[in-house]
Amino acid sequence: MVPQVSVLMPVYNACSVHPRNIWSRWLFRRGLEEAGRRKRRFLEQAIESVLQQTFADFELVIVDDGSTDDTPAVLRSYADRDPRIRVVRYEQNRGVAGALNHGIEACRAPLIARHDGDDMSPVTRLEVQKAFLDARPETAMCGTGMYVIDEDNKLMNEIHHPVDYESIRAFLRTTGCPFVHGSVLVRAEALRKLGGYSTAKEFRVVEDYELWVRMAVEHRMENIPNRALYFHRHHPHKIGVRYMKEQARATLRVRDMAAATLA
């Protein structure tokens, strides 16, 4: 049977750290092996947080974007235990946008929930978000606030973005991305009609922001008010940490695009 929700999770070398990324004291103190063990634990916790959802009619589509470490073995072990998990593998790394687009095509449900391979969701996330969209057929996507946690799952911060459609459009034009990427639940039909994520080099660290700008032109988008339904893990290997300067420059480009198209 076709599930009601597809959870889409792209991963790449989620159980190891490349030596060229040894730039922080965190890595020097703990070493490569400890860093790899931590990353593996992040992946396991991410998968388990999805499997424990109170809304059970879902599939978890994990796109392995050409991993060369123990990631494929970890994914196989989970898939062998739970038939809701489907692993799609690239033999060569394509990048996040390419992996996501491949995953979108593999998703069977009418609703697609994003999830990162090092974050977590509270057990009621899918239940609450699906009910929110079911009550709003005119809305194509909803996101939530997020709890920022550290490597040991300790709470660091709580962040919320604008909630209503007009405020979101204004935020896209003037500020930046008003959605926590891993928290969104989006109608698959709308996502596919837009052609998915751009794989252009200039958007490689802001692929979500660029997509939401295009989506806002044609579709209503909201954030669920006063709800944080996503645990965003802050650690040295997060793309937003590793490519902070590139992300800032790319954000300016997309913001200019939003100002021109969402006026």
pLDDT single digits (tens) 98-148: 999 999 999 999 999 999 999 999 999 999 999 999 999 999 999 999 999
Q: Is 64 exposed, middle or buried (0-12, 13-18, 19+ CB in 10 A)?
A: buried
Q: Taking Cα atoms as reference points, which of 18, 7, 15 lies closest to residue 72?
A: 15
Q: Taking Cα atoms as reference points, which of 214, 207, 219, 195 lies closest to residue 243?
A: 207
Q: Is 134 exposed, middle or buried (0-12, 13-18, 19+ CB in 10 A)?
A: exposed
Whichever domain contains 39, its CATH number is 3.90.550.10
pLDDT at 136: 98
Residue 37: which pLDDT band, with cuts at 50, 70 and 90?
confident
Give whole-number Cα distances, 253 to 141, 206, 221, 247, 262, in Å: 23, 10, 21, 10, 14
* Total number of domains constituting the chain: 1
**Domain limits for position 198:** 5-261
More confident residue, 35 or 160: 160
Interhelix angle for 207-218 vs 244-261, to 10°? 10
Q: Is 1 exposed, middle or buried (0-12, 13-18, 19+ CB in 10 A)?
A: exposed
